[in-house]
Amino acid sequence: MRIISGFLKGKKIDFINSKITRPIRNLVKESIFNIILHSNLVKVNLNSSNVLDLYSGVGSFGLECLSRGAKKVTFVEKDLTALEALKKNINNLKIGNFSEIYPIEISSYIKTFSKEKFDIIFLDPPFAENNYIDDLRTIKETNMCSKKHLIIVHREQKTVEALKDVLNIISTKNYGRSKIVFGTF
């Protein structure tokens, strides 16, 4: 797995083989960034953005954001194996000054540490996880988003969930097994 674009283009990212975490495929990641950068529906600017990467795993989305000009990425991941790979990736890419890692549950981060405003929030929960919708509600209630923001959720394509109850859905894209939902509050 490698960084697709930006100043870290081509740099290797360590990943783990796990039933709990799975890396986002490069095709899906590239499609997400094409929408962020080129869609008229998206009102957020990736350059100089503050990004929150929830359920980060090894950090491939957040690392790609930093490579493409994001100001800062906050990673939240509780799985110890994924955390070790994430820390190694940040150290190997020498981007520690532009990132923060919180090794805790998502709900704990939102309730305890969420004092800043984010331009982009990316959620990539395990496909079997459904509590993330409650986390989205709390994010909305705690006003963690900047005025022009974007919420991106990676789910399994056949998953049917009540995201419309929480998000103003801008677009939904399917890529093989993956479904990417773009929205705002």
Domain boundaries, the chain: 26-184
pLDDT at 17 over 90: no
Q: What angle do CA 153, 8, 95 make, to 5 degrees?
A: 80
Beta-sheet strand order (sheet of 50-54): 99-102, 72-76, 50-54, 118-123, 145-156, 178-184, 168-175
The stretch 15-20 carries a mean pLDDT of 72
Question: Hey, what are 119's tokens?
Answer: 């331009």
**CATH 3.40.50.150 fits domain 26-184:** yes
pLDDT score recorded for residue 28: 92
pLDDT score recorded for residue 157: 85
pLDDT > 70 fraction of the chain, expressed in percent and rounded: 97
